[in-house]
Amino acid sequence: MQLRALVLTLAATLLAAPASVSGAAIDPNDKGEPLFPDGHPNITYLTDKNWDEHMAKTDKPWLVDFYHP
């Protein structure tokens, strides 16, 4: 009898969980915080103006991550 009550309680909890998550208010226009802070020593923000300066004039490999905030 206790096992059945436990199973029913767990089932009710699992069924109620998605409802509480889906009911959260989410602003689709919120851009959030930047992925990396300004001035981070290992981050270089590349633009059209500085691309050649950093990429074409070096013999070191670069890992470039393109993202849209």
Q: What is the DSSP string of 21-54?
A: HHTS---TT---S-SS-TT-TT-----TTTHIII
Instruction: Examine the pLDDT at 14 and tell me if it is beyond 80.
Output: no
Task: Give the domain ranges of the chain.
Answer: 2-56
What's the whole-number mean pLDDT along residues 50-69?
82
- At residue 19, the pLDDT reads 57
- At residue 49, the pLDDT reads 92
- At residue 3, the pLDDT reads 81
Give the pTM: 0.39
Q: Which residues of 45-63 are buried (b: 16+ CB within 10 A; e: fewer)?
A: eeeeeeeeeeeeeeeeeee
pLDDT digit string (tens) for 25-52? 777 777 777 777 788 888 888 888 988 8
